[in-house]
Amino acid sequence: MDMLWSGWGDPERAAPLPGSVTGLLRDLLGVKPRETATVALEDLDVPASPLVPDAHRALTAALGDEALVRTDAETRVRHTRGKSTPDLLRMRGGDLAAALPAAVLLPATHDEVRDVLRLCAQHGLAAVPFGGGTSVVGGLAPKARGPFVALDLRRMNRLLDLDPVSRTATLQPGLRAPQAEALLAEHGFTLGHFPQSYEWATIGGFAATRSSGQASAGYGRFDEMVLSLTLATPEGTLDTGRDPRSA
């Protein structure tokens, strides 16, 4: 399931604010209703993908299936920007600007990620990792101008190993926090990390952003839990070795 493209949460569970809250926003904070309606996803003016045929063919070959290199409008929109207030206001206004990926790639293994990154470097494409799409600090927007791809890691969603003696687990980056919690609970363990983005965020996102939150005080920030990382780069694999916390 994907999050609401222009907001937080599951669209099937959306509910209007109660009158007491809207009254408070109006009377105390001076918030006024929008004069224009939010643009519907199907009404967005989405430009055609700038992904050139050679790059498209190479990325398809690396992933083994054309369905894993997605260039349709809806998928690209759903991988545009994060969930900060500025991001959401731009999205609701139909402002896609330079934050729209040329394609969304869905690798399933570390080797596929490495191969995709190498191809992106060869074809002059930036690659932006995408986990749960919950970033509120601009983490899903490319830093350089030009075509880029979103690297959606949702297929990398497994618990690879768990050592009950050292109480360490090896988790793939696309594993969402509730799934990770359920898998660890089967062995009598808990992740113990519950930021506001918990329902949608991923293990890779936690590690990349040094995630923290009010409900994580008991176990600490996520970087304090990370002992080791295996990273894919255009030049190959980088193994950080074991360390009591990420640097």
Residue boundaries of the structural domains of the chain:
27-152, 159-239
Q: DSSP label at 158?
A: -
The identity of residue 245, as a single letter, is R
**CA–CA distance, 116 with 235 (Å, rounded to integer):** 11
**Model confidence, pTM:** 0.89
Digit-coded pLDDT (tens) for 190-205:
998 998 899 999 999 9
In this prediction, residue 247 has a pLDDT band, given cuts at 50, 70 and 90, of very low
Digit-coded pLDDT (tens) for 160-187:
999 999 999 999 999 999 999 999 999 9
Asked whether residue 246 carries a pLDDT value surpassing 60, the answer given is no
Position of tokens 């990770």?
180
CATH 3.30.43.10 fits 27-152, yes or no: yes
Digit-coded pLDDT (tens) for 64-77:
999 999 999 999 99
Listing DSSP states for 20-82 in one string gives HHHHHHHHTT-----SSPPPPGGGS-PPPP---HHHHHHHHHHHT-GGGEE--HHHHHHTSS-
Among the residues of 123-209, which ranges form H helices? Answer: 177-185, 203-209
Q: Are strands 236-239 and 230-233 parallel, antiparallel or unpaired?
A: antiparallel
Looking at the domain that runs over 159-239, which CATH code has it been given?
3.30.465.10
CB atoms within 10 A of CB 182: 12
The angle, 0 to 180 degrees and rounded to 10, between the axes of the packed helices 53-63 and 110-122 is: 170
- By CB atoms closer than 10 A (0-12, 13-18, 19+), residue 217 is exposed
Among the residues of the chain, which ranges form H helices? Answer: 19-27, 53-63, 73-78, 85-92, 110-122, 177-185, 203-209
Token pair for 15: 């509910």
Is the backbone of residue 77 left (phi > 0), alpha (psi -120 to 50) or beta? alpha
